[in-house]
Amino acid sequence: LTLDAAIEGEGTFGMDLAENNRDENGDGNKFSGLAPWLRVKLIPGGWNRYCFDFKATGTARYGMLQLNFGLVKGTVRVDNVVLEELP
C-alpha cells in the first residue's frame, strides 16, 4: 500500500484488516480486527509518501482494509492511494 498524505496538525493514522459486516470469527462483532493495527506518525508540513508492505497469513473472504485517521488532530489530505500485489 502506498499513499501520499499532507497534514496540518499532528497525529497518527492506523491501518487494519477487519471483518466487513460479517461475524466470521464468531465473537459477536461484525467488524472485528483480523490483524493488529499498524500505527504511523504523520510528518507535518507538506506532502509525504508512506509505503507499507504486508503479507497475509490467512484469508478473510469478506475482509476489508481500513485506513483510520481518527487519531489525527487537524486536517489530513490523502492522494495517490495504490494497493498492489507484490511480486
DSSP 10-37: EEEEEEEEEE-SS-TTSSS-TT-BSS--
pLDDT recorded at residue 35: 66
Q: What is the pLDDT of residues 7-18, one digit of tens each?
A: 888 888 888 777
Cα 39 to Cα 50, 52, 54, 57, 59, distances in angstroms? 12, 11, 13, 19, 22
pLDDT recorded at residue 3: 92
Cα 1 to Cα 18, 70, 73, distances in angstroms? 16, 19, 23
Does residue 33 surpass a pLDDT of 80? no
C-alpha to C-alpha distance for 21 and 29, rounded to whole angstroms: 8
Does residue 78 surpass a pLDDT of 80? yes
pLDDT recorded at residue 48: 93
pTM: predicted TM-score of the whole model, two decimal places? 0.72
Which of residues 47 and 15 earns the better pLDDT score?
47
